Amino acid sequence: MEDEPFDIMTFTGGVPDPKPERRERQRGEPDGTYTHHKLMERHPEGGGPYGGRDNAVTALVGYLRERQFHYDLAVEYAQDWNLKHCDPPLPAHEVEDKVSRAWAEWSLSVREMYTKEVAVKDLLADRAKAVEPKEPRKKKIPWDWDRLQEEAAKSRDTEWIIPHVIARQAIHYFAGPPSSGKSWMAADLVRAAESAGMWMGIAPCVKAKVLYVNEEMGVGEYNNRFHLLYPDACRGLHSFVNENIRFTDPDDLNDIVDFVKEQSIDIVIVDTFVRVHNLDENSNSEMSQLYQHFKKVTDAGAALVVLHHARKGATGSLGHESMRGAVEIAAQAETVLSVENKEGHYTVKTVKQRRSPFENQINFEFRIHANSETDLEIRRIDGKEEKTLQEAIHEFLDHNPGVTSQQVADGIKKRKSDVVKMLQSMEDEFQINVMNGQRGAKFYSPRSMF
């Protein structure tokens, strides 16, 4: 006899609701009641109740892990759910990878099957907790004038780690599309903090200790980035690498806060925003909850620098308009820097800075120069002097006709991949002449020669 398809509603049906009063809550008040209903909606590649199918799959995996589903059962259910509710479905290997990462540090001893009996036990425990007597509410009393003067005397002016960019005990965002340069800026922040040097060649950074929470890159790529840029300048860096850190998980959050206090960490870098929580980033109320978790890190003494994805086509927009998700995300921030990448030319703009006047806000451009295959360098661009890639190629070909793409890249000191892409675009637009050689070789000359 074949096993019947697994259905979570059948699996948990008939169990009494431990908090029936939540049905009476006011509209818009967050209570987590409708997570399952939201998951059962359609999830397109962009949009939907979770802002896209990737976020929805992440929410589902968190939902299953929170309920201690056995790993094999979670994979099976997630694959079936993906086919039924994602439009189009994610590749099966990506779904399995998300589940595997969520269960990575969950030892076999606690991977118990979540049976109906366990569900009843958990729900009854929740009900008992709900009826426990609560401590009486402490009455809030406004400050009088003397109290105001007393508290003001205790406060201090903004303590900048990087002037007009990163302030101690505040939240900051680097926002941009994928591959826009956010992680390169974060890597240079590590180097500048370790050496008390200039960040991105534009602003001085005080010597600071850094904790990097990396949930975006594999360990090899993450490690290699520092070796390519600064092989000996980041030895004091502390990292969580693909540990499935969630700021919404009390244990994970306590680990981070304790480490910040014990090691006197000055900066915590988070890469990326979407991977360190299981909330709906399009919900203002849920993002307000996430802010309270972030605030525990800043209250411990560290500046929080979060790498976040931008809305499509919104680079350079004002405030929250440049960032994906709810308005509340940008509302939390001290600083929001918008980042974009056009053919290796990176542009950074300050779209929000709460404590600095407009004239002190920084905007700059940079590129990543390859000194060799194993040596990269971040160089700030002077916008008045820097030629565009296309202009540089035209000028080089005028003086050196009949050259290969490698010779062009070496001559103008640009990455070959960027040069090849631009040469193809210029060829398609008939801006240059191309002669085909043996074994697919191409030789480029200025159009004016023919």
Q: What is the pLDDT of residues 14-38, one digit of tens each?
A: 444 444 444 444 444 444 455 777 8
Each residue of 319-371: pLDDT tens digit?
A: 456 688 888 898 889 999 999 888 788 989 998 888 888 888 888 888 888 77
Q: Does a structural domain hold residue 445?
A: yes
Residue 41's pLDDT band (cuts 50, 70, 90): confident
Q: Does a structural domain hold residue 323?
A: yes
pLDDT score at 156: 67
pLDDT score at 421: 87
Does residue 113 register a pLDDT over 60?
A: no
pLDDT score at 262: 96
CA pair distance 54, 60, nearest whole angstrom: 10
Does residue 105 register a pLDDT over 60?
A: no
pLDDT score at 449: 53
Q: Does a structural domain hold residue 155?
A: no
pLDDT score at 318: 45
Q: What is the CATH number of the domain that holds 345?
A: 3.40.50.300
CA pair distance 69, 113, nearest whole angstrom: 6
Q: Are both 32 and 79 inside the same structural domain?
A: yes
pLDDT score at 314: 53
Each residue of 416-425: pLDDT tens digit?
A: 888 888 898 8
Q: Are both 396 and 353 inside the same structural domain?
A: no
pLDDT score at 47: 77
Question: Where is the domain boundary, 362, 381, 400?
Answer: 381
Q: Are both 280 and 375 inside the same structural domain?
A: yes
Q: Does a structural domain hold residue 142?
A: no
User: Which residues have C-beta within 8 Å of that of residue 277, sequence separation ≥ 6?
Assistant: 246, 247, 248, 290, 293
pLDDT score at 63: 83
Each residue of 240-286: pLDDT tens digit?
A: 999 999 999 999 999 999 999 999 999 999 998 999 998 888 888 89
Question: Where is the domain boundary, 355, 381, 407?
Answer: 381
| Domain of residue 80, residue span | 8-130
Q: Are both 407 and 354 inside the same structural domain?
A: no
What is the mean predicted confidence (pLDDT) over 290-313?
90
Question: Where is the domain boundary, 328, 348, 381?
Answer: 381
Question: Which amino acid appears at position 377 of this protein?
Answer: E
Q: What is the CATH number of the domain that holds 407?
A: 1.10.10.10
Length, in residues, of the chain? 450
Q: Does a structural domain hold residue 41?
A: yes
Each residue of 212-229: pLDDT tens digit?
A: 999 999 999 999 989 888
Q: Are both 343 and 229 inside the same structural domain?
A: yes
Q: Does a structural domain hold residue 253?
A: yes
pLDDT score at 343: 78
Which is more confident, 103 or 304?
Answer: 304
Q: Does a structural domain hold residue 409?
A: yes
Q: Are both 401 and 265 inside the same structural domain?
A: no
Does residue 316 register a pLDDT over 50?
A: no
Q: Are both 367 and 405 inside the same structural domain?
A: no
Each residue of 115-155: pLDDT tens digit?
A: 666 667 777 887 777 777 778 888 889 988 988 888 877 77
Percent of the chain topping pLDDT 70: 84
Q: Are both 197 and 341 inside the same structural domain?
A: yes
Q: Are both 235 and 367 inside the same structural domain?
A: yes
Q: Does a structural domain hold residue 150?
A: no
pLDDT score at 319: 45
Helix (H, G, I), strand (E, B), or coil: what is residue 226? helix
| Longest CA pairwise span in the chain (Å) | 90
Per-range mean pLDDT, top range of 53-57, 297-301, 418-422 = 297-301
Helix (H, G, I), strand (E, B), or coil: what is residue 334? coil
pLDDT score at 106: 52
Q: Are both 367 and 408 inside the same structural domain?
A: no
- C-alpha gyration radius of the chain: 26
Q: Are both 187 and 215 inside the same structural domain?
A: yes
Which is more confident, 64 or 167?
Answer: 167
What is the mean predicted confidence (pLDDT) over 90-94?
87
Ramachandran region, residue 147 (left: φ > 0; alpha: ψ -120 to 50; beta: rest): alpha
Supply the mean pLDDT for the chain: 82
Q: Are both 309 and 403 inside the same structural domain?
A: no
Show the 3-state SS of 357-379.
CHHHCCEEEEEEEEEECCEEEEE
Which is more confident, 44 or 316?
Answer: 44
The total number of structural domains that make up the chain: 3
pLDDT score at 15: 40
pLDDT score at 9: 46
